[in-house]
Structure 1
Amino acid sequence: MPRIRVEVDGATYDDDVEPRLLLVHYLRERLGKVGTPVGCDTSNCGACTVLLDGMSVKSCSVLAVQADGHDVTTVEGLGIDGAIHPMQQAFHEEHALQCGYCTPGMIMASIDLLRDNADPSEEEIRDGLEGNLCRCTGYQNIVNAVRRAAGEMRKPAEAHVTEREVTS
């Protein structure tokens, strides 16, 4: 049985895993990271999206052995010093969920989207989340949440530039 070493939400795990074990099942069943739901098990819905070395992946399409030596972030690992992530806060404030099943995957894919594009348009957000499905909402509140989070996540950088301009 292969042995893997993986960092998940800031903690390092060394485990023996079956070669065919999917990352989503490793996270949920072995590590108790149940915030990552098993959706379709076919990589169609995106509910199980996590960040692998900062990039969004559907954890039902990645084997646990493929995560060996890598950093995995789940929706449970987003908070900083007890505070929720700005994307989580924006989803709450914009009512960007109904049943909530797709929400962890939507949040993780949205964070990856903003990594590449800090100020996406509505169309760019819709394109960027294309692989994540929601059956309850009309997506508009999700788009609103991503726009809100993008603005919040840019604020520290904008404040830093403003301070530099004032002291110069």
Structure 2
Amino acid sequence: MMIRLAAPRDARGIAQVQVESWNTTYPGIVPKSYLDSLDVKKREEIWKQAAVNQPLYVAELDGEIVGFAIGGENRDKDTYPEFDGELYAIYSYEHVHGKGVGRALFENAVRNLAERGYKKMVIAVLSENPTVNFYKHMGGYYLGEETITIDGVSIQESFYGYDDITKI
């Protein structure tokens, strides 16, 4: 497995991971209408831009992108002002779960946040996500919940905090 910074040319692979991850992780949690609307081509454009604008990490296994992670400035400073950084997204194909891909992506993204001067980090994750324990295992502690709406359905989102990310 190799973890590296993504380039715009990786956008399609990243988009495929994101769409498949949502479709394998969130059935019964996120409305089917929303999952059905996820489009690799549309996501590809978003990830192409993201790869240009900020550090975005990909995990490759046998030459295939199997996961990605991205983080930056905390987008919810009103709710969690003590956290300056945020892990925005971390996804991997289901068939690589338990193989260290998530841990490697997490560690690289967090190290990058620390190198950019961030001290504390927050992560938002759907509360019913079956992999929620990963965030606890990586040292996160429960901060609270919010209700979000996806395609008219209320869904609980949990927040986890990480103090002194230089120690992760």
TM-score (norm 1): 0.30
**If each structure's strand is expressed as a fraction of its own residues, which one has the higher value?**
2
Q: Which has the higher helix share?
A: 1
Q: In terms of Rg, which structure is larger?
A: 1
TM-score, structure 2 length as denominator? Answer: 0.30
